[in-house]
Amino acid sequence: MSAAGCRLQCTMAAGRARSGCSLRAAGAALVVVTALLAVGCSCSPWGQDDVDRLREWQERQDERLLQQQRALEERQRLSDDLSLERQYLRTDLQLHRERQQDERQTERDARLNDHQRLRDDLLQERQVEQSDRQLHRQTLQDQGLDERQQLHDELDRDREREVEDQRRAREQLSDQARRDRERTDREREREQGRREREQQRREQEREREQQRRERERDLREQRRRWRRDADDTADDKNTTATTTTVKAADPPPQPATGKSYEGAQLWRVQIADGDVANLQRVEDDGVAQIWYSNATVWDLMVSAENQPHVRKLLADNKLAYTVVIPDMQRAILDENPSLSDDELELTSRKGHRMTWQHYHRVTDMHGWLDYLANTYPSICETLVIGSSVEGRPLKVLHIKGKPGSPAMWVDGGIHAREWITSASVSYMLNELVENHDSHRAWLSAVDLYVLPLANPDGYEYSHAGDRMWRKNRRRGGGCDGIDLNRNFGYKWGGKGAGPQPCQEIYRGSAPFSEPETSAIQSFVLARKASLKSYLSFHSYGQYVLYPWGYDRFVPPDHEDLQRVGTKLANAMRATSGLSYTVGSSAALLYPASGGSDDWAKGQAGLKYAFTIELRDTGRHGFVVPSSHILSSGKEVLAAVRTLAQEVAAL
Ligand SMILES: *[C@@H]1O[C@H](CO)[C@@H](O)[C@H](O)[C@H]1NC(C)=O
Ligand SMILES: *[C@@H]1O[C@H](CO)[C@@H](O)[C@H](O)[C@H]1NC(C)=O
C-alpha cells in the first residue's frame, strides 16, 4: 500500500466518523481503523489531539458497540422468544387444526351415521310400503275375486230368473193357445149351430115351398077343372076365351105367405115401334108383370106356367126378347141374406136393429126412426102423419132446420116391392142425423120431412107374402090393392092408370081414396107455404123425372126443372159412377096419371117436384141385392143435399 491509499482510507474513515453516519457505517469505519492500526498504517497528518479524540471516539464507539451488542442480544432474545412463540403458535395451530379435523371427522361420522340411519329408515319404510302394497294388492285381488264371485252369483240368478220367465211365458202362451183353441171350438160350435139353424131354416123354407107348390098345384088343378067345366057348359067358346072369363069371374086367391117365383123369369123385350096394345094386355090378363117399360124396352116378369103362352104371343107380334133373370126365386133368395148372429148382436146393442147390409121389416125401421128421434131430440122428431089401410103408422122424420127455413118433402117405398128406395132413404136419414155435424151447414138451411115407408102394408106384404107386391093392401073389389102412385088427385084417372082392381096400376075408386095418399095430401097442403120441393124415390131405371107424368107436356118452368134435375143426376153420378137420365116422365117413359109428383107440382104448387128412379137398369130389376144399399144410399144423400141447396137458394 501506498501512502496515498493509506491516507484516503483514513480520511474516509474519519469522514464517516465525523458525519456520525449510521451504526453500520460506524461499525465498518471502526473495522477499517482497527484494521489500519493493525497493519501499521500511520496517517501521518493527525496530531495528539487527534489521537485523543480518536481514543475518545474509540471509547464511545466501543460503548456504542457494546450497546449495539446488547441490543443485538436483546433482539436475538426477542427473536428467539418470537420463534419460540411462533413455535408455540404453530403447535397450537397444529393442535387446533387437528382438533378441527377431529371434529370434522366426528361430524362427518355423525352425518354418515345419520345418513345411514336415514337410509335404513327409508329402506325399512320402503319395505313396509312394499309389504303394505303387497297386502293391498292381495286385498284387492281378494276383493276382485269376491266381486267376480258376486257377479257370477248375479249372473246365475239372472239366468235362473230368465229361465223362470221363459217357463212362465211358455205357460201363458200355452194358456193363450188353449183359450184360443177353446174360443175357436166355441166359435166352431156357434158356426155349427148357425149352420144347423140355417139348414133348419132352409129345410123349413123347402117345406113351405113344397106346401106352397102343392097348394099351387091344387089351384092349377082347380083352374083346369073350372076350364073343363066351362068347356063342358059352353061348347061354342074356345079355351082362351074361357080362361079369360074364368079369371075375371073368380080369380084364384093369393097364397097367404111366401108366394114362390120358382121358374119365373125376367124377359127383356125389344119394341120396334109404337103398337104395344097387345103387350099391355099381358099384365091385365095376369100372364106377366110389366116391371119396366120405355119406348124401346119392356121388362116382363113371366111365371113358369105362363112362359109358353107369352113366348107365343111375342112370336106372334114378331118381338124378340132376352132372358135377364133366369131364376127369379134364386134371385129373391140371394137378394137379402139374413144377418149373422154377430151382426144381430151388434145391432141390438145400438138401441135399434137397423143396418145397411140388409132389407129390414117395418118394425125394425119404425123402431129405428123412434130411436133417432129419442136420441137426438134437438136434431129431429118423428111425426105420425096418418096410418095405412092396415093401421100401420105413417112415420115422417123431421130434421129441423133454422126456424123459417124453406121445407122439403122426401118419400120412398110408395111401391112396395121397390125395397132399395126405403133402404137408401133410411141410410140418408141415418147419415144426416148420426153425422149431423158434417151436414149442419146445408141442413140448417132447410126443414126436411122424410117418409121412408110410404106404403108400410105393401112393404110388409112384399116381405111376408109376395116379394113382387106393388100396391097397398086395400082388400076387396076382386083383387087386392091400389097403386098409390096413380091415386093422387091431379089429372086423376087419365092415361097410364087402370080402372080395374086387378090391374097393377089400379088407380083406386077416387082421388086420394087411400089413407096413405090422403095423409100425404093433408100434410103437404098444411105446409104448402114453406114446402118448396117434392122428391119421391122409386126404382128402377136410373132416371131423374119431372112432371108431367100424365101426358107428354112440360110445365112452364121446365127449364128450371131440367137444370136442377141435371144437377141431381150429376151429384148422384159423382158418388157411384152410375148415370141417370133426366127428363119429363111421360116423354122419357110412358104417360101415367095420378102420380105424386104431378100432384105436388100441379095442385100443391111445389116448384121442384121430382121422381127419381134408382138403380138398376134391369140386371136385378126390383131384386137389388142388399149389398147395394150403401152405395145407393149415398146417391140419395147426394141428390137430397143438391136439391136442398137449390131450395135454400130460391
Ligand atoms: C078361338 O076363338 C078365336 C076368336 O074368338 C079364334 O080366332 C080361334 O081360332 C079359336 N080357337 C079355337 C081352337 O077354336
Ligand atoms: C130404355 O131402357 C133401356 C134400359 O134401361 C135403355 O138401354 C134404353 O136406352 C131406353 N130407351 C130409351 C128410348 O130411353
Residue 353 and residue 368 in contact, taking contact as beta carbons nearer than 8 Å: yes
* β-strand partners of 289: 301
> pLDDT at residue 154 above 70?
yes
Cα 332 to chain centroid, rounded: 40
Rounded distance from Cα 417 to ligand 2 centre (Å):
21
**pLDDT for the residue 233:** 43
Confidence of residue 19 (pLDDT cuts 50, 70, 90): low
The 10s digit of each residue's pLDDT in 401-446 is 999 999 999 999 999 999 999 999 999 999 999 999 999 999 999 9
Q: Which is the closest atom of ligand 1 to the Cα of 240?
A: 1
**pLDDT for the residue 262:** 92
Residue 30 and residue 50 in contact, taking contact as beta carbons nearer than 8 Å: no
Catalytic residue among 418, 514, 613, 646: 613
> pLDDT at residue 264 above 70?
yes
Question: How many Å apart are CA 483 and CA 505, to the nearest integer?
Answer: 5
> pLDDT at residue 35 above 70?
no
Question: How many Å apart are CA 215 and CA 608, to the nearest integer?
Answer: 49
Q: Is 585 exposed, middle or buried (0-12, 13-18, 19+ CB in 10 A)?
A: buried
Q: Grid cell 297386502 — which residue?
A: 135
Q: Which is the closest atom of ligand 2 to the Cα of 617?
A: 5
Flag the least confident range among 121-130, 336-345, 369-378: 336-345
- DSSP character string of 470-511: -S-----SSS----GGG-SSSSTT-TT-BSSTTSTTB--SST
Q: Is 439 exposed, middle or buried (0-12, 13-18, 19+ CB in 10 A)?
A: middle
Rounded distance from Cα 247 to ligand 1 centre (Å):
18
**pLDDT for the residue 246:** 32
For the ranges 28-32, 54-58, 630-634, the one whose mean pLDDT is highest: 630-634
**pLDDT for the residue 45:** 63
Identify the H or E element spanning 404. none
Q: Grid cell 141374406 — which residue?
A: 337
**pLDDT for the residue 340:** 78
Average pLDDT of the segment spanning 313-335 = 92
Question: How many Å apart are CA 646 and CA 543, to the nearest integer?
Answer: 19
Q: Is the C-beta atom of 271 inside 6 A of ligand 2? A: no
**pLDDT for the residue 256:** 37
DSSP letter for 262, please.
Answer: T
Of residues 77 and 570, more confidence is placed in: 570
Q: Is the C-beta atom of 134 inside 6 A of ligand 1? A: no
- Indicate the average pLDDT of the chain: 87
Residues ≥6 apart with Cβ < 8 Å to 546 = 554, 555, 558, 561, 562, 565, 583, 584, 585, 597, 601, 609, 610, 611
Average pLDDT of the segment spanning 256-285 = 81
Of residues 40 and 193, more confidence is placed in: 193
Ramachandran class of 482: left when φ > 0, alpha when ψ lies in -120 to 50, beta otherwise? beta
Average pLDDT of the segment spanning 454-476 = 95
DSSP letter for 19, please.
Answer: T
Average pLDDT of the segment spanning 316-345 = 88
Confidence of residue 140 (pLDDT cuts 50, 70, 90): confident
Percent share of the chain, pLDDT over 90:
56
Q: Is the C-beta atom of 565 inside 6 A of ligand 2? A: no
Q: Is the C-beta atom of 618 inside 6 A of ligand 2? A: yes
Average pLDDT of the segment spanning 377-388 = 97
Nearest C-alpha neighbor of 258 from the set 421, 457, 468 = 468
Average pLDDT of the segment spanning 122-146 = 88
Average pLDDT of the segment spanning 489-509 = 94
Average pLDDT of the segment spanning 525-550 = 97
The 10s digit of each residue's pLDDT in 193-244 is 999 989 988 998 888 888 888 888 877 776 666 665 555 444 443 333 333 3
Calculate helix-pair angle for 3-18, 23-38, nearest 10 degrees: 150
